[in-house]
Each structure stands twice: as C-alpha cells, then as structure tokens.
Amino acid sequence: MFLHELGKIEAEAFLTLASEIIEDDGIVNLEEAQILEQYEREMRVIGFTYDAAAANAARNTLAQLNETLRRKVYMELFAVAICDSFEDVNERRTLNALRDSFGLDERVCRALEACVLDLYSVYAEIDEALTMESSPVNVVQ
C-alpha cells in the first residue's frame, strides 16, 4: 500500500471513493469487502461507514493533495476497481472522472494501471510458487 502518508481525513476520503468504485458494478463480493477492510486496518481508520453523499467532498479533499499523492491514490483506486478480476464500464467511468478531477495526465494513469496489473501478475506467480508441489529429489549420501 502506498497511502501511509495520508492523514485521517484523507484516508476516510480514500475509503469513500474505494467504496464507491466497489459498488459501481452493483456487486460487492467477498474479495472487494476484504480489500476495503485491509485498507481500513492499514490506514488505522476504525468504524468507517460508507456514505455515498460524501463522494464529491472526498474527491475534492483528495484533489488538494500534491501530485505524487494524487497519483498514488489513483493507482490504489485502480487496484480496488480490478480486485474482482475485471473492470466494469461504470468503474472505468468513475476512474476517468477521478483522473480528471485530480488533474492527472491520462498517459501517467495508464502507466500506473500497467504497474498495478504487473504487480497483480507477480502476486499470482508468488502464490503459485508458494503452493506448487515439490519435485522429488533423490539425495545420495
């Protein structure tokens, strides 16, 4: 997670937008709920409750961050959008609106998205390596 620099207000704003993205496709699955809980724990936000009416204020709060933090927030929100293994058209629309409200360059956002996809691929490879069967080894003494 790249959001350790956020204060409490910014962390709650992030969780609001993450919740919005998770609900964009109309389905909140277990993996999405777990990733939101993980963000809550890592950012030490206790008792977070999503309020859809707070989304505009959350966007405005996060738009005030410096460029590097806005990029980190965007990257993490993209990770939330694809954590269920697919990107819904509504999620893309929300991401594009966030990109625009954060004043981020589309090329930069695409590069950040590619990094997240690469990272997920590496995580999958690590998981595979951790769970693969050992090959039989003949030890001669």
Q: What is the pLDDT of residue 56?
A: 93
Q: What is the pLDDT of residue 140?
A: 60
Successive 10-residue mean pLDDT values, the chain, 141 residues: 87 95 81 88 90 92 96 94 81 93 96 91 85 75 60
pTM value is 0.85
Our measurement of the distance from residue 55's CA atom to the centroid of its chain's CA atoms, rounded to an integer in Å, reads: 16
Q: What is the pLDDT of residue 29?
A: 81
What residue ranges do the domains of the chain occupy? Answer: 8-131
CA dist 31 and 36 (Å) reads 9
Q: What is the pLDDT of residue 15?
A: 96
Residue keyed to tokens 């003949």? 138
Q: What is the pLDDT of residue 108?
A: 96
* CATH architecture type of domain 8-131: Orthogonal Bundle (1.10)
